[in-house]
């Protein structure tokens, strides 16, 4: 049945595991999910020298089989369950040659699972530079495992690794490491018998992890719980004893195989760099300069590709209208699906660039230093140093940022980070801010060199960050947790970014974004299109009749009729009726029913706002032209009072509402996916709604 | 003497841990009894700290460092 060999890559973080994965699979890789969990599964095909194709799976980086974060749980799950669809035939353990002792801990754990293993000893060039001499043959014979020396960044040793994979056997040959049974003899025996497991270390790990393992039945889990009490099993004491035994084994091996001559040179270079990058003053100055440069580039470099994408979609829509038969289906396809897709796809360049920058920051080791510098500050407001990464990412898009919060081990820190990240002004709010600011803020210079409009825009961004921090602080007080928060993190040596890794990250992020967000957006835009195109009873038919009468056609040109007709249709559609219905509740904020419709359509995604405004204020032509929308909005008057709709008070109130309200289906979907509970996206939706409503109300009444 | 009491550049040898939960996590990261630790840096706001241990750099909070007793 199973013809292709399945190989899993396992290793500590920062060992070059993904470099090896990319080198083996190239563009021949895909991102999927492990069955039943939301951890990204990176896999790909690799062709060996003898023509054989093998499947390579990149498992999340971890220091040990005892998981510390959500992602790491998957490693033992996949390796210990032969029925898991990702269970490997062979494990390649990637180890950092410059830091062999800590890296071998994971090896000894996996070796005891009795799976066939190969050790890929990476960064051999760095080890040589650091005067660490490793006797590869002695190491291989002491462990009785194939050991391949690599310097993956220089593409050295990859061919040897491939041939080691093709010569591998399906029988685990490695020598035993420690006496596992000795840790809890009776308990291991009992569990092995009940679950029919023949490996004592698998049994022991199941005792530790049974609550998190998908393949352990509920009744077995409860039974293990009882057994732990009967046999007086203390998990932490057992783990401590095991870890010490493993390091004793490792020290013995290293004594005979490794010679340390002097301190590593690169370490000293890293120390010198850190002297500036984590300096009391310069550290923060450099950090903010880097952030500033990143956001400047994201906006500057994405302008042209974004225009290109818009042009392609306009061209596609024209093509559709020309060649497809006119009718409901064509309308749905073009005005519903295509319009919805174009609203999302224009953000591809910004998202790809943001991912590229974040991957460079992580790849070089700088992100770890930012975390190190900010931890104390973040902890004061209930976050962790590791929350800085998602919060920075939130300036571009909350969806990938919330996913990146997985690296935060502490549950409370992670939940608070997820809950406040959508408050940070993302790139989808930018078109709304710029439109409204240009409407009510004069474009003049303050102090002779600061553009007033630009200043207001920057204040909106600052306000969003301040609010995120305030809310985090409030949540720190409300949310109860007895889990200890801790911060034990490797500071990797500074390295040059690997550009093909950066390119592959960009490519992967685009692919995930298009497929994941695309699905939601297409569904929502179809619903919106239906609600905006149809109304109850025969209202819409009557409007059609009214405008095709000769009285109308003689009075107006065809173009004018189309404009009048579509705006009256919208008013009488289901969406329009809802807008009218909610009008009383949003009047205190200074909004009329048309803004109400925009607020509703924006719940699919904020970027829909400009498009909805364009339709509502009956501007024909494409949405990309801001000027006509702006003029129409500036002239719009309230039907009842006759006063201007977009006063300074209304515009600012609206901006504040968009800044704080949770108007993004994709974010809510990802929050559910990450927390696996509906209560978190629901709580988030309502607290943000209350916050947005309250703040808008205050702003409107202050400026009125 | 605790690890959290060392100044930048000072070195010590790990004797034992005062917190079981923390000790398991620290040992996995290479902080073992008998291992030498050296304080390399303190974060700009005074916490956390960065130490060199078993050949690499590790950052940890002062509260965590205070569970490590030195010889």
Tell me the C-alpha to C-alpha distance, in Å, between residue A488 and each of A381, B48, B59: 19, 9, 6
Say yes or no for a CB contact (<8 Å) between A283 and B23.
no
Q: What is the pLDDT of residues A273-282, one digit of tens each?
A: 888 888 888 9
**A283 annotated as ligand-binding:** no
Domain boundaries, chain A: 6-167, 181-246, 528-622+629-703
pTM: 0.79
Tokens 């293993």 appear where?
A117
Q: According to the model, what pLDDT value does residue A36 have?
A: 57
Q: According to the model, what pLDDT value does residue A624 have?
A: 41
User: Rounded to whole angstroms, how far apart are CA atoms A27 and A504?
Assistant: 8
Angstroms from B50 CA to nearest CA on chain A: 8
Say yes or no for a CB contact (<8 Å) between A488 and B52.
no
Name the nearest CA neighbour of A412 among A310, A484, A304: A484
The set of residues, in sequence order, having a beta carbon less than 8 Å from that of A283 and lying 6+ positions away, is A276, A277, A369, A373, B44
Say yes or no for a CB contact (<8 Å) between A105 and B28.
yes
Q: Is A507 helix (H, G, I), strand (E, B) or coil?
A: helix
**Res. B62: pLDDT tops 90:** yes
Comparing A39-48, A83-92, A337-346, which segment has the lowest mean pLDDT?
A337-346
Q: What is the dihedral of CA B30, B35, B39, B43, to 10 degrees?
A: 20
Taking one residue from A and the other from B, the number of pairs with CB-CB distance under 8 angstroms is: 109
Neighbours of A251 (CB within 10 A): 13
**Res. A19: pLDDT tops 90:** no
**Res. A140: pLDDT tops 70:** yes
| A456-465 mean pLDDT | 87
Say yes or no for a CB contact (<8 Å) between B64 and A486.
yes
> Count of domains in chain B?
1
**Res. A619: pLDDT tops 50:** no
Q: According to the model, what pLDDT value does residue A517 have?
A: 64
B8–chain A Cβ distance below 8 A for any pair: no
In the sheet that holds A5-11, the strands lie side by side as: A29-33, A40-47, A53-58, A5-11, A90-96, A117-122, A147-149
Name the nearest CA neighbour of A116 among A38, A191, A172, A63: A172
For residue A620, what pLDDT band results from cuts at 50, 70 and 90? very low
User: Rounded to whole angstroms, how far apart are CA atoms A438 and A459?
Assistant: 15
Tell me the C-alpha to C-alpha distance, in Å, between residue A345 and each of A30, A242, A414, A508: 20, 51, 29, 15
B48–chain A Cβ distance below 8 A for any pair: yes
Say yes or no for a CB contact (<8 Å) between A489 and B59.
yes
Q: Which one of A377-381, A534-538, A598-602 scores highest in mean pLDDT?
A: A377-381
In angstroms, how far is CA A457 from the centroid of its own chain? 26
User: Rounded to whole angstroms, how far apart are CA atoms A130 and A109?
Assistant: 27
The residue in chain A having the minimum alpha-carbon distance to the alpha carbon of residue B27 is A243
Which CATH number is B36's domain given? 2.30.30.90
Q: Which one of A224-228, A398-402, A453-457, A553-557 scores highest in mean pLDDT?
A: A224-228
User: Rounded to whole angstroms, how far apart are CA atoms A79 and A206?
Assistant: 12
Tokens 């173009």 appear where?
A559
CATH says A6-167 is which class? Answer: alpha beta
| Closest in A105, A236, A493 to B20, CB measured | A236
Q: Is A131 helix (H, G, I), strand (E, B) or coil?
A: coil
| A210-230 mean pLDDT | 89
Q: Contact, A601 vs A528, CB < 8 A?
A: yes
Tell me the C-alpha to C-alpha distance, in Å, between residue A592 and each of A107, A383, A545, A568, A654: 65, 39, 28, 16, 11
Q: Contact, A6 vs A86, CB < 8 A?
A: yes
Say yes or no for a CB contact (<8 Å) between B48 and A385.
yes
User: Rounded to whole angstroms, how far apart are CA atoms A569 and A328?
Assistant: 15
In angstroms, how far is CA A502 from the centroid of its own chain? 16
Complex ipTM value: 0.94
**Res. A701: pLDDT tops 90:** yes
Among A247, A279, A281, A495, the residue to mutate for chain B (most B Cβ within 10 A)? A247
Say yes or no for a CB contact (<8 Å) between A284 and B24.
no
Q: According to the model, what pLDDT value does residue A520 have?
A: 64
Domain region containing B58: 1-68
| Closest in A98, A377, A491 to B50, CB measured | A491
Look at strands A53-58 and A132-134 and give their pairing: unpaired
User: Rounded to whole angstroms, how far apart are CA atoms A610 and A670?
Assistant: 24
| A543-558 mean pLDDT | 75
**Res. A625: pLDDT tops 60:** no
């Amino acid at each position: 049945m199973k013809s292709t060999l399945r190989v899993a890559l396992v290793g500590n973080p920062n060992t070059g595991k993904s470099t090896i994965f990319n080198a083996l699979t190239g563009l021949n890789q895909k991102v999927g999910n492990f069955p039943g969990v939301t951890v990204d599964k990176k896999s790909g095909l690799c062709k060996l020298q003898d023509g054989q194709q093998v499947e390579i799976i990149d498992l999340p980086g971890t220091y040990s089989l005892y998981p510390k974060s959500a992602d790491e749980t998957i490693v033992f799950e996949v390796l210990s369950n032969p029925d898991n669809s990702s269970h490997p035939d062979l494990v390649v353990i990637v180890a950092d040659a410059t830091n062999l002792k800590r890296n071998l801990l994971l090896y000894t754990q996996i070796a005891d699972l009795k799976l066939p293993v190969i050790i890929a000893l990476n960064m051999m060039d760095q080890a040589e530079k650091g005067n660490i001499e490793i006797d590869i043959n002695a190491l291989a014979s002491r462990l009785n495992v194939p050991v391949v020396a690599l310097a993956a960044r220089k593409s050295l040793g990859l061919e040897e690794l491939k041939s080691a994979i093709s010569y591998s056997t399906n029988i685990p040959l490695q020598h035993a490491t420690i006496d596992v049974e000795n840790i809890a003899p009776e308990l291991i025996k009992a569990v092995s018998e009940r679950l029919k497991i023949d490996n004592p270390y698998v049994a022991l790990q199941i005792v530790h992890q049974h609550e998190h393992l998908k393949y352990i039945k509920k009744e077995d889990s409860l039974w293990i719980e009882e057994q732990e009490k009967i046999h007086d099993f203390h998990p932490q004491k057992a783990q401590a004893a095991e870890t010490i035994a493993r390091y004793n084994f490792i020290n013995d091996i290293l004594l005979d195989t490794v010679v340390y001559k002097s301190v590593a040179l690169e370490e000293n270079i890293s120390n010198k760099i850190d002297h500036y990058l984590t300096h009391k003053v310069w550290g923060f100055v450099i950090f903010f300069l880097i952030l500033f440069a990143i956001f400047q580039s994201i906006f500057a470099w994405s302008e042209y590709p974004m225009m290109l994408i818009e042009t392609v979609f306009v061209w596609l829509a024209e093509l559709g209208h020309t060649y497809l038969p006119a009718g409901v289906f064509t309308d749905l396809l073009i005005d519903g699906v295509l319009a919805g897709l174009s609203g999302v796809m224009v953000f591809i360049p910004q998202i790809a660039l943001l991912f590229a920058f974040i991957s460079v920051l992580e790849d070089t080791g700088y992100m770890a230093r930012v975390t190190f510098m900010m931890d104390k500050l973040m902890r004061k407001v209930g976050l962790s140093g590791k929350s800085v990464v998602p919060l920075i990412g939130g300036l571009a898009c909350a969806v990938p940022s919330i996913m990146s919060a997985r690296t935060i081990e502490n549950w409370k820190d992670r939940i608070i980070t997820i809950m406040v990240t959508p408050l940070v002004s993302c790139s989808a709010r930018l078109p709304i801010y710029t439109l409204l600011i240009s409407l009510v803020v004069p474009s003049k210079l303050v102090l002779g060199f600061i553009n007033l409009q630009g200043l207001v825009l920057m204040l909106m961004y600052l306000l969003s960050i301040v609010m995120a921090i305030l809310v985090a602080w409030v949540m720190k007080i409300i949310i109860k947790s007895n889990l200890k928060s801790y911060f034990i993190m490797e500071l990797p040596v500074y390295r040059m970014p690997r550009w093909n890794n950066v390119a592959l990250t960009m490519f992967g992020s685009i692919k995930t974004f298009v497929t994941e967000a695309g699905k939601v957006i297409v569904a929502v835009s179809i619903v919106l299109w239906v609600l905006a195109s149809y109304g109850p009873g025969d209202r819409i038919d009557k409007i059609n009749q009214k405008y095709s009468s000769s009285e109308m056609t003689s009075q107006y040109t065809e173009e004018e009729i189309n404009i009048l007709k579509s705006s009256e249709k919208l008013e009488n559609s289901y969406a329009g009726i809802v807008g009218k219905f909610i009008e009383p509740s949003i009047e205190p904020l200074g909004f009329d029913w048309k803004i109400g419709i925009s607020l509703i359509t924006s719940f699919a995604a904020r970027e829909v706002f400009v498009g909805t405004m364009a339709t509502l204020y009956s501007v024909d032509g494409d949405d990309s032209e801001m000027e006509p929308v702006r003029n129409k909005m500036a002239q719009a008057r309230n039907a009842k009072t006759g006063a201007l709709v977009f006063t300074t008070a209304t515009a600012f109130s609206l901006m504040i509402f968009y800044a704080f309200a949770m108007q993004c289906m994709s974010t809510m979907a990802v929050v559910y996916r990450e927390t696996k509970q509906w209560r978190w996206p629901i709580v988030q939706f309502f607290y943000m709604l209350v916050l947005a409503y309250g703040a808008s109300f205050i702003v409107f009444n202050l400026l009125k | 003497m605790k690890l959290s009491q060392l100044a930048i550049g000072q070195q010590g040898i790990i004797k034992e841990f005062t917190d079981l939960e923390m000790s398991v996590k620290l040992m996995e990261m290479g902080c073992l009894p008998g291992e030498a630790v050296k304080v390399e840096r303190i974060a700009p706001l005074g916490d956390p700290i960065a130490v060199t241990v078993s050949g690499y750099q590790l950052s940890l909070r002062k509260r965590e460092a205070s569970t490590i007793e030195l010889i």
